[in-house]
Structure 1
Amino acid sequence: MAINFDNALGIHQHTLGVRSQRAEVLASNMANADTPNYKARDIDFQTALSRAQSNQSGRQSLARTNERHIAMSSEMTPEMKFRVPNQPDTGDGNTVDVQAERNNYLQNSLEYQASVQFLGSKFKGLTKALKGE
């Protein structure tokens, strides 16, 4: 009898990938805190998770209507959103609030660790079941 990992592991296998993507976006925001006109971005977690569960690709590709057009793909995914700033514009057009980004990064890393622990316990349960314990 085959093991269906989607049923056995639940949602936690998908949350790891989304949390990892979100960590990259938040780190990019912090790295660009002093870049003029940089707009802070974040991932809509629910949209990204539902997309990951349905195994849809998050990348959008641009159509080439002529062979001389440069082939490229968009970095923005449907779940990627620009963050509404909590503070007034400082004059350089940058919308990154470093303290908020750090807090979001910390929260995301704690939730990532929780998902890793849940997955670990699921694998322990599967191992016990396979051993017949």
Structure 2
Amino acid sequence: MNLFSGTISSLEHALNYSSTKQKVISQNIANVDTPNYKAKGVSFKSALQEALGDTIDTYRTDKRHFAFQKHSAASAVIENKNQVSYNENGNSVDIDQEMADLASNQIYYNALTERISGKFSTLQNVIRGGK
């Protein structure tokens, strides 16, 4: 959805990232006692850098003009965390770290939902004519 700017689209991608991270953290917490389970993490940084690194070949009349960039849908990548065992059974889930990540992700998600709600509220106000 691209209304007037890419803000709503960016918020949508951020919500998808947060949702994926929530699922991975939940899987890690659910498998805290599973022997030889390796904790997983969500990496969005590499996908974001890849998306921002692509530039479109454009004709610039002045070298001071900005180069246009492609805005592709970057997706989060699920990967195994460090290969350290925290338990004697080969499990690498640190429950304290996972709970902290869970709380941090919840705060991030709440901030995103409030921001996108504010965007839609502003659009609704404009549609109603400021009433």
Asked if TM exceeds 0.5, the reply is: yes
Identical amino acids, percent of aligned pairs: 28
Q: Per the alignment, do residues 7 and 132 of structure 1 end up closer, same or farther by CA in structure 2, a change over 3 Å counting?
A: farther
Moved segments of 4+, more than 6 Å? none
Aligned positions of 1:59-74 closer than 5 A: none
Q: Which amino acid aligns with 2:72?
A: S
Map of 2:2 onto structure 1: 4
Mark the CA change 1:19 to 1:99 in structure 2 (over 3 Å): closer, same or farther: same
Selected match of 2:109 from 108, 112, 115: 112
Deviation per CA, 1:10-59: give whole Å up to 9, x if none.
521111111011101001000000000000001013345677x6236x6x
Equivalence for 1:27: 26
Higher RCO (CA 8 Å, separation ≥ 6 residues): 1
In structure 2, how many angstroms separate the alpha carbons of the residues matched to 1:37 and 1:30? Answer: 14
Taking structure 1 as the reference length, the TM-score comes to: 0.70
Q: Quick check: 1:43–1:79 contact (8 Å CA) kept in 2? A: yes
Structure 2: tracts of 5 or more residues without a match: 52-70
TM-score by length of 2: 0.71
Instruction: Provide the aligned C-alpha RMSD in A.
Output: 2.5
Inter-partner Cα distance in structure 2 for 1:7 and 1:36: 44
How many residues are matched? 109
CA contact (8 A) 1:43 1:80 kept: yes
Distance in 2 separating the partners of 1:120 and 1:48: 26
- Which sections of structure 1, spanning at least 5 residues, go unmatched? 59-77
Separation in 2, partners of 1:42, 1:4: 29
Q: Give the counterpart letter for 2:19 in structure 1.
A: S
Q: How does 1:1-133 map to 2 (within 5 A)?
A: 4-5=2-3, 7=6, 9-47=8-46, 54-55=72-73, 79-84=77-82, 89-133=86-130
